[in-house]
Amino acid sequence: MKDLSVLFGKKLRAKRKALGISQEKLALLTEIDRSYVGRIERGEVNITLEKLYQFAEVLHCDVRELLP
C-alpha cells in the first residue's frame, strides 16, 4: 500500500510542477495545510477520495491522471 502513496505523490508533484504551482499555492487552493501537502507528495500519508477530487479540480485534470 505504501508504494501506491509514493506513486500518487510523485504524480501529484509532477502535475503541480508542470502547471507552475507552488506547494503553498496548491495548499491554499485546496484548503489543505502546506506541510500535509508535502507529506502527501512524499507518500507519507494516505488521502481520502475527497482530497483526491480536490486536487484534480484545482489542477484542472481528471482524477485518473493522478492515480498510479
Q: What is the CATH number of the domain that holds 39?
A: 1.10.260.40
| Pairwise CA distance, residues 7 & 13, whole Å | 10
Which pLDDT does position 45 carry in this prediction?
95
Percent share of the chain, pLDDT over 90: 97
Per-residue pLDDT for 46 more than 80? yes
Handedness of CA 33, 29, 11, 68 (dihedral sign): positive
Count structural domains, the chain. Answer: 1
Which pLDDT does position 9 carry in this prediction?
97
Per-residue pLDDT for 1 more than 80? no
Domain that holds residue 6: 2-66
Helix then strand then coil, in percent of the chain rounded to 5, is 70, 0, 30
Which pLDDT does position 34 carry in this prediction?
95
The predicted model scores a pTM of 0.92
